Amino acid sequence: MTTGSATIDPEDIARFAGISDQWWDEAGPFAPIHRINPARLGYIKSTLAKHYERDDKSLQSLKALRILDIGCGGGLVCEPLARLGAIVTGIDADRNAIDVARLHAAKAGLPNAPVYTCTNSEDMAAKAKGQFDVVLALEIVEHVADVEVFVRNVADLCKPGGVIIFSTLNKTIKSMLMAKIAAEYILRWVPAGTHDWKKFIRPSTLSNALRRCGAEPFDVRGLVFNPLKNSFAMSDRDMDVNYFIAARKDK
């Protein structure tokens, strides 16, 4: 793993490295990520299609867009985006996760397989500044050691006019009860210790951090769980636990 970074939390990386071989197990420790994947992929696809004036229904709606997924894990988002025609790069500080992502992509036989690299956001920003049309930071900012530095790295990697999308956990009492206590200790959706509520971040705080880096938020949506359908869906109103922010890189 790589940990020589102001944003990397070594304890978090070690925690995920221990279960990285289970990224693609829909019943394993990453089951919640598999559950939210349809909703978050739908949001990413529709947001990018609208921004870049593409046909959202097209099987190649993201064709030729250069997309970077920071904290890509085993590639659960990278592969579907590549199937939609995007040129995808996935990075993660967990070398085990990168190995899993590479192996799974190879087995899938994708014609334009994602390129995976074990690195951190600082090192990537130093060598690929302004090279991506889209930068994704999904379920990762609540794990970083320095939010301001991380957001700056994300913004630096995006081209002017490009799109940045974050998804993370709001800092509310409801998120403490549902995303921390219930998810980890009652429902056992994720291993105990996965999240630190102190690192959860309010939409206003993240929006202001983006603005300081020359990116203007243009959409904020919640992600809510429907227990009757056992699935997640986007919400225009409920952002109390999970939410997405999409921002345009202006400069």
| pTM for the model | 0.92
Percent of the chain with pLDDT over 90: 76
Bridge partners for 158 per DSSP: 132
Query: Is pLDDT of 4 > 60?
Result: no
Query: Is pLDDT of 159 > 80?
Result: yes
Question: What is the Cα–Cα distance from 28 to 189, expressed in whole angstroms?
Answer: 9
Give the mean pLDDT of 223-233.
Answer: 88
In what side-by-side order are the strands of the sheet with 158-169?
A: 115-118, 87-92, 66-70, 132-138, 158-169, 242-249, 215-226, 231-235
Query: Is pLDDT of 50 > 90?
Result: yes
Confidence of residue 189 (pLDDT cuts 50, 70, 90): confident
Domains of the chain as residue ranges with CATH: 10-169+199-249 (3.40.50.150)
Q: Residue 204 is inside which H or E element, if any?
A: helix 203-212
Give the mean pLDDT of 205-213.
Answer: 98
The tokens for 155 are 């913004």
